[in-house]
Amino acid sequence: MACGLLSRRVASSLRPCLGLTATGYRQVSQTAANIVEEAEFDGPCMKTEVPGPISRSLSKQLEKVQNVIQVNFFCDYEESRGNYLVDVDGNRMLDVYTQIASIPIGYNHPALTKVMADPSNLGTFVNRPALGMLPPGKFPEKLFDGLMSVAPKGFSRVQTMACGSCANENAYKSIFIWYRNKQRGTSQPTPEEERTSVINQVPGCPDLTLLSFMGGFHGRTLGCLATTHTKAIQKLDVPSFDWPIAPYPKLKYPLDQFERENAQEEARCLEEVEDLIEKWGKKGRPVAGIVIEPIQAEGGDNHASFDFFRKLRGIAKKHGSAFLVDEVQTGGGSTGKFWAHQHWGLDDPADMVSFSKKMLTGGYFYKDDFQADKPFRIFNTWLGDHTKNMFLTEVIKVIRTENLLEEVKKSGKVMLQGLYDLQAKYPHLLSRARGIGTFCAVDVRDEATRNDLILKARNKGVVLGGCGNQSIRFRPALVFKERHAHLFLDIFNDAIAELK
């Protein structure tokens, strides 16, 4: 099977570098107003090892003032185009990681550069508004044209925030406020509550909890971190909240071949969730909300069935806990639907949905009940960045006009089939290929081999990222087409073939 794909293999690292003007792929990108031609490179082009000498020299400079252990290489964002990230040494790589899943429609899409060229946008870039107090006149319009136009069914409200962590932190606060209002039967606190809240004591700061899942990742600020359970390095030495943590189903892939076993595993986890809610309720530390990702991403691309999520949502409702779906990594289209939870097929899938990354702005959709009736309960200086809303509006237009959700389904199919083929070809190295849309992953024999494979692929011109202990996650932009999937698979095969 793999041979079919691989027959079109090209010796990427030897191929002469072709520029924008070469006879490469051309795609037509149509925005609302006019048709523009978007030029993309026709393949990777490697000139040095990565990081190259210029990157290494910049790293030495940066090292003087901050931690550079995590720096992969330095980039030339002006020269990058579409699916191709160009580094400062002139290496051009097919980007299947996209700044940790946060570039929605590729590099330098003309629809976005147009936002910069519009003089009527200048003021918003140069003078950052305190959006909660002094929003720009165009703010409501941009929210309606942008975020609200992709609001999941059932959501009429949205709050922007600067990043994914701030989104979740504030969603958590909204859940706690909502839950306490329910408990006390009024939004009017007692004087005792007011007094004690300022000094971090009950009843003003109540002993409520959030239920999260092993392997879940929801951010790194202290509130979010209490619901993140991925790697020790992210949590070690930081004080936390003692909140309930449920097991996340450990499923066998491909899901459709292990339905019965997986259903049993999911039932076990759901039972544990319900036990935890009851147990913590009895302890006087009730579960105000449940937070979960539709696919655990940072934790290792762990999937659960749509049925699992439907039942979990039912449990939350039954026990009066809010249900928050964290779509920071899954949202924005890469599963082939705009929101991953839309695959579940539920009319009422959640109380809140948080987002960031490919949405460019952080924030969360919420139901009416979750809006505080007093000012300054959910607030900060900037409440996001309106320039991100301006870009997002264009991104959404492009997704529609270029029909990108359909493209994602097509390229995702090529990608997943290619991964199945590769794991059949290299069973001692690859396993558990899985994915929805282009939101795919595969496991590698062990952590060291995984890391080695990522570096080998990079030197052949493909940027990849890891997740979990031994997985590689694939997070291309939405403009990643079938031809890019084939190209990626070819190069990935070459890199695997070099592994011992």
Catalytic center residues: 217, 326, 357, 381
Strand residues in 279-376 grouped as ranges (E): 287-292, 322-326, 352-355, 362-366
Task: Kindly state whether residue 188 participates in binding its own copies, applying the rule CB under 8 A.
Answer: no
Residue 165 or 471: which CB sits closer to its own copies?
165
Residue 363 or 418: which CB sits closer to its own copies?
363
Site for its own copies in 88-107 (CB under 8 A): 88, 99-100, 102-103, 107
Closest contact distance (angstroms) between CB of 106 and its own copies is 9
- One of 166, 273, 352, 414 touching its own copies (CB under 8 A): 166
Task: Kindly state whether residue 77 participates in binding its own copies, applying the rule CB under 8 A.
Answer: yes
Helix (H) or strand (E) holding 192: helix 191-198
Q: Which of 301, 271, 253, 281 is nearest to 431 (CA)?
A: 253
Q: What is the 3-state secondary structure (H, E, C) of 250-273?
A: CCCCCHHHCHHHHHHHHHHHHHHH
Residue 27 or 181: which CB sits closer to its own copies?
181
Task: Decide: 228 and 220 in contact? Cβ < 8 Å.
Answer: yes
Helix (H, G, I), strand (E, B) or coil at 386: helix
Q: Which of 434, 199, 414, 417 is nearest to 297 (CA)?
A: 434
Residue 61 or 264: which CB sits closer to its own copies?
61
Closest contact distance (angstroms) between CB of 259 and its own copies is 30
Task: Kindly state whether residue 479 participates in binding its own copies, applying the rule CB under 8 A.
Answer: no
Task: Kindly state whether residue 471 participates in binding its own copies, applying the rule CB under 8 A.
Answer: no
Closest contact distance (angstroms) between CB of 270 and its own copies is 20
Pull the structure tokens for residue 408. 């994602």
Task: Kindly state whether residue 204 participates in binding its own copies, applying the rule CB under 8 A.
Answer: yes
Task: Kindly state whether residue 156 participates in binding its own copies, applying the rule CB under 8 A.
Answer: yes
Closest contact distance (angstroms) between CB of 243 and its own copies is 7
Task: Decide: 164 and 219 in contact? Cβ < 8 Å.
Answer: yes
Burial class (CB in 10 A: 0-12, 13-18, 19+), 261: exposed
Of the candidate spans 221-229, 319-327, 453-461, 484-492, the one that interacts with its own copies by CB under 8 A turns out to be: 221-229
Residue 221 or 431: which CB sits closer to its own copies?
221
- Kindly write out the interface string for residues 313-352 of this chain, putting x where it contacts its own copies by CB under 8 A and - elsewhere: ----------------------------------------
CB neighbours of residue 278 within 10 Å: 13
Give the whole-angstrom CA distance, residue 370 versus residue 349: 15
Q: Which of 370, 182, 175 is nearest to 290 (CA)?
A: 175
Helix (H, G, I), strand (E, B) or coil at 296: strand
Task: Kindly state whether residue 154 participates in binding its own copies, applying the rule CB under 8 A.
Answer: no
Task: Kindly state whether residue 439 participates in binding its own copies, applying the rule CB under 8 A.
Answer: no
Task: Decide: 454 and 473 in contact? Cβ < 8 Å.
Answer: no
Site for its own copies in 225-284 (CB under 8 A): 226, 229-243, 245
Site for its own copies in 109-148 (CB under 8 A): 109, 112-113, 115-116, 120, 122-130, 132-137, 139-141, 143-144, 148
- Kindly write out the interface string for residues 11-50 of this chain, putting x where it contacts its own copies by CB under 8 A and - elsewhere: ----------------------------------------
Residue 215 or 249: which CB sits closer to its own copies?
215
Site for its own copies in 388-417 (CB under 8 A): 391
Give the whole-angstrom CA distance, residue 102 versus residue 401: 20
- One of 209, 302, 305, 423 touching its own copies (CB under 8 A): 209
Residue 170 or 305: which CB sits closer to its own copies?
170
- One of 37, 78, 256, 347 touching its own copies (CB under 8 A): 78
Q: How many residues sit close enough to its own copies to count as binding (CB under 8 A)?
A: 129
Task: Kindly state whether residue 74 participates in binding its own copies, applying the rule CB under 8 A.
Answer: yes
How far is CA 160 from each of CA 128, 217, 260, 355, rounded to the nearest angstrom? 14, 20, 41, 9
Helix (H) or strand (E) holding 141: helix 139-145
Strand residues in 308-382 grouped as ranges (E): 322-326, 352-355, 362-366
Beta carbons within 8 Å of 58's beta carbon, 6+ residues apart: 74, 88
CB neighbours of residue 384 within 10 Å: 24
Task: Kindly state whether residue 448 participates in binding its own copies, applying the rule CB under 8 A.
Answer: no
Task: Kindly state whether residue 62 participates in binding its own copies, applying the rule CB under 8 A.
Answer: yes
Task: Kindly state whether residue 368 participates in binding its own copies, applying the rule CB under 8 A.
Answer: no
Of the candidate spans 10-18, 37-45, 170-178, 491-499, the one that interacts with its own copies by CB under 8 A turns out to be: 170-178
Closest contact distance (angstroms) between CB of 173 and its own copies is 5
Of the candidate spans 247-255, 267-275, 382-390, 435-443, the one that interacts with its own copies by CB under 8 A turns out to be: 382-390
The CA R_g of the chain, rounded to the nearest whole Å, is: 23
Closest contact distance (angstroms) between CB of 497 and its own copies is 27
Phi and psi at residue 497, in whole multiples of 5°? -60, -25
Residue 80 or 423: which CB sits closer to its own copies?
80
Task: Decide: 28 and 109 in contact? Cβ < 8 Å.
Answer: no
**What DSSP letter does each residue of 60-118 carry, written as one string?**
HHHHTTS--TT----B-TTT-BBTEEEBTTS-EEEESSHHHHT-SS-BT-HHHHHHHH-
Residue 414 or 478: which CB sits closer to its own copies?
478
Closest contact distance (angstroms) between CB of 450 and its own copies is 16
Task: Kindly state whether residue 172 participates in binding its own copies, applying the rule CB under 8 A.
Answer: yes
